[in-house]
Structure 1
């Protein structure tokens, strides 16, 4: 049994799944991250990073997701998902669907400000009151890769 401890709460303007953009880079909305006071010291030096990787728990069950922008929808069938960017079903692990065996999300957000145990961020793509599991600094030298293949998504990015 794996147990994870919530280190804080992510506050966003998104109250319903249909309002949340399907990727953080599509969002210009701001949010706040309230870190538990016992972890405030762990935020030392974080303000030197422009972007953060957030790991969080999808805390509301989603079986079918429809997005207001561009009439995007997500459907599942067993361990397959028909994601927002395609019309075919793919294995859940070849997608970033929020519908997963372990409901863990990952987003990269822009850090705007740190004040005590509160972080103000931009480019949020999660529901309000999302439980935060971990924060890691985004470091291009560590996180960017060259000669990357994007599988079934390649057709969506060919001319971009």
Structure 2
């Protein structure tokens, strides 16, 4: 499993909503990307406040990382919208474990979601390093 959606460019997945929520997918097919919020149901109950992230070999505060072991185990992925059919959303760039409980779907809007100026703190990784990393025992 890729660590981040950027490492899963070629991975396609299906998000299946419960029938009462199917109508909520209306008009999402007009967006190129969406944000998936989900529950890290497989990450366990032990949520240290300091972790060794996948792009570093030093302990970092969990809130400055994308580690799935979190005090409140909520994940976020920006994925491409491939199609919407009924209650199924087909997406590209998915990095989520099969069966992960979905909390919400939101459209990705660059004007809202991409700040004009950013800094990445301790994380100074090349795009190739991010794209090549796969999940290990720390991220299951």
1:56-82 Cα offsets, whole Å, 9 max, x none, are: 00111358xxxxxxxxxxxx9931010
SS of residue in 2 equivalent to 1:147: coil
Normalised by the size of structure 1, how large is the TM-score? 0.74
User: If each structure's strand is expressed as a fraction of its own residues, which one has the higher value?
Assistant: 1
Higher relative contact order (CA 8 A, sep 6+): 2
Q: Give 1:156 deviation, angstroms.
A: 2.0
Residue 126 of structure 1 corresponds to 96
Is the contact made by 1:111 and 1:122 (CA closer than 8 Å) also made in structure 2?
yes
User: Aligned pair count?
Assistant: 127
Structure 1, unaligned runs of 5 or more: 1-19, 64-75
Contact 2:51/2:61, CA 8 A, preserved across alignment: yes
TM-score, normalised by the number of residues in structure 2: 0.84
Does the CA-based 8 Å contact 2:2-2:95 persist in structure 1? yes
C-alpha separation between the residues in 2 aligned to 1:133 and 1:98? 15
Over aligned residues, Cα RMSD in angstroms? Answer: 2.0
Q: Which has the larger radius of gyration?
A: 1
